[in-house]
Amino acid sequence: MAGRGVHFAINAKTAQKLIKLPRDERADFIMDEIEDYFFEQESSYLAQTDKAWDAIHRVLTDGQLLWENGEYPLNHAILAGELLIGGEANDDYLISLKTPAQVADISAALEDFSEEDFKQGYANIQIDDYEYNLGFEDLNYSYKWFLDLKKFYSLAARSGRYVIFTADL
């Protein structure tokens, strides 16, 4: 089952520090340094998507939960980007990084993504490949988190920040 997802808009110095860390130290850095700081000090630069990140990625792509499915830049809003942790059998955490240029592209694409587009994308999710109950309640739950994500990407793009998406798996 997909865990809770959180996006953080980080500065270049923090992004470079994260990239340079050994792979097995990155999750601890996120949990010990980034999460505490952003939840306490810079909450406007974080966006929680709870478990809706799964549906949001599917909506923005082709209905599947795959790393590189869909088309750029919408497929980078959740997954895609530079995979810092994830993809290995023993991974219980996921971190993907988006550059400021990618963040700007994502923000522009999300700005044009309407509620009707969201509903159409949601209709592409296959029930046999989805861990949650498809329906009106899940659609509304996912769309609520999506609206917060749109605002977040707009702020991150205006600020020229990197974005990391994290999820415990």
CA geometry: angle at 41 spanning 34 and 14, to 5°? Answer: 35
**Tens digits of per-residue pLDDT, 56-74?**
999 999 999 998 899 999 9
Closest CA relative to residue 54, chosen from 121, 150, 136: 121
pLDDT for the residue numbered 90: 60
CB atoms near residue 14 (< 10 Å): 18
Ordered mean pLDDT values, 10 residues apiece, the chain (169 residues):
86 97 94 93 95 97 92 97 81 92 98 97 93 95 98 98 94
**Tens digits of per-residue pLDDT, 67-103?**
889 999 999 999 999 999 887 666 788 999 999 999 9
**Residue 99 CA to chain centroid, in angstroms?**
13
